[in-house]
Chains A and B, each alone.
Chain A
Amino acid sequence: MPEPTVVEVSAAWAPPAALLLLTLAWAGACLDGLLGPAPGQGRVRALRRPLTETARLLRQPRRTLVGADVMLWRIGGAGLVLVALLMVAVVPLGRWTLADLSVGIVWFNALDVVVWALVWLAGWGPNAVHSLVGGYRFLAQALAYELPLMFALTSPAVAAGSLRVADVVAAQHTVWFVVWMPVAFVVYCLAVAGFSVWGPLSPAAGADIAGGVLSEASGPDRLLLLGGRYALLAAGAAFAVPLFLGGGAGPLLPGWAWVLVKTVLLLAALVAVRHRLPTLRPDRFVEVGWMVLLPLVLLQVLFVSVIVVGGS
């Protein structure tokens, strides 16, 4: 098989790419509704829920709070969608990519760290207790998933000998990285749930603190926060495809179609995780992150490095 070459398309393709990501996020929200319909709600209504909820939130007046830091609150709320959009800029859709950065993996990493700031700001902004607790929870948990995530991102880069996403795809033309770095893949997926405040890593928006960072958000702000979570999940799933799942490699279908198929499947799995796994208590997860995940993923990097050095 010839090595797939990646071409940079013009910036005019950015709006369609953004639309594609938002469509994926939408599909994720629909699937979430299907998997866990509210009591007394049929499947059709559950499927329509993202639409009705969007319409409701767009018309809902914003809640005003005493002493809120409105500027920081709005930045925190609006930023998640923006970060997700910037993340997919370096994901090649088959042969095409918006930005063929020489350090695409670092680009992704820098953006997922920006989520730290955004979620904390969304928690700080409203000047409310539960919201603030949510923001602090997120930071504690972020410290525990971020280092494992960094080394999970390092493994494919070490194997490909490059931080360029296109080179990582090209390096998988024989074996997909998920096959021989499964630990890195699982840790990566867990971290995607982490920076999307999702499923097992969603205590920052937990029901035990009345919704945490979401508790005071209303109207368009709430829509951006909820939509941003799905957009981040979709962006994380999309980035896993060139990193671990062979990019556009696959039989019959063209490369771009395979990228979409793999993204949708991983996104569906990530959405489904919320309905299969309990939310992890942040104080428990922090220790697991540092004591279990970090050593495991370090061993994974060592394993990959030994193979790369031995094979060359």
Chain B
Amino acid sequence: MLEAIVFWTLGAVAVAAGAAVFKVDSMARATYALAVSFVAVGLALLLVDLHYVGLVTVLMMVMEMAIMAVYMVMFMGMNPALMPMSMVHGRRTALVVSVGTFLLLAAGALLVPWPSRRDAPPVDVTAALGEALMGSKMLVMITVSPVMLATIVAGIVLAAPRTRYDRFGDDLRGHPADDPQPGGVGRR
């Protein structure tokens, strides 16, 4: 009973906060409304005893949204989004697509014949998850990690206005690097 109340409350909070993302008029509010929505989903996961997954969802989403707020304010506004502004554009298409997606996923969740549990759940769900990820799925993990790292490095290389020639001179021999900003580990 109590669990049902908590679940439906969290579900309502998640949907309402998700909708609020498009109703509010500031990038900060929109971002943190999304964070609240994700936190509600993470807490709902605790109800099915997925403690690690639930808390990590909260951790990652709050962290991501805190960083995203900075980028939203920087890039998404007409002139840095410090002023109130609308959070929607292409209103009709977006509405049709989002309602359609919601109905499709909800119908899927309700209509799919979910298999019933055959064994008892493992005693330590977190350890079982770790073994699944680091055991049979290890190949996927060690393939994905370098790809992600390469993507990050490539992204920074493409975005950074200064190249190594700016830093070390045309013959790349100008050590220490000539940087506009001093660092904390001895560069000047």
Note all chain A residues with C-beta closer than 8 A to B35: 117
A102 CB to closest chain B CB (Å) equals 5
Complex CA gap A48/B52 in Å reads 44
A111-134: CB near B (< 8 Å → 1, else 0) gives: 001101100110010010000000
Residues of B within 8 A of A139 (CB): 66-67, 70
Asked if residues A116 and B52 are in contact (CB atoms below 8 Å), the reply is no
Q: Are B32 and A121 in contact (CB under 8 A)?
A: yes
A286 at the interface (CB under 8 A from B): yes
The distance from the CB of A220 to the nearest CB of chain B, in whole angstroms, is 22
Number of A-B contacts (CB under 8 A): 82
Partner pick for B184 among A72, A163, A288, CB 8 A cutoff: A288
* Binary flags per residue of A166-179, CB closer than 8 Å to B gives 1, else 0: 00000000000000
Q: Give B58-85 as 1s and 0s: 1 = Cβ < 8 Å from A's Cβ atoms.
A: 1100110111011000000000001000
The residue in chain A whose Cβ has the minimal distance to the Cβ of B57 is A110
List which B159-188 residues lie within 8 A (CB) of chain A. 181-185, 187
Most B Cβ at <10 Å: residue of A71, A110, A127, A286: A110
- 15 additional contacts, CB 8 Å, given A121-B32, A139-B66? A71-B29, A72-B29, A102-B126, A103-B55, A110-B55, A110-B56, A113-B63, A113-B66, A116-B62, A117-B66, A136-B70, A139-B67, A281-B184, A286-B184, A291-B183
Chain A positions near chain B (C-beta within 8 angstroms):
69, 71-72, 101-103, 106-107, 109-110, 113-114, 116-117, 120-121, 124, 127, 136, 139, 142-143, 146, 163, 280-281, 283-288, 291-292
Ordered by A's residue number, 19 sampled pairs between the chains whose C-beta atoms are within 8 Å are A103-B126, A109-B59, A110-B56, A110-B58, A113-B59, A113-B66, A116-B63, A120-B66, A124-B28, A139-B66, A139-B70, A281-B184, A283-B181, A284-B183, A284-B184, A287-B184, A287-B185, A291-B183, A292-B184
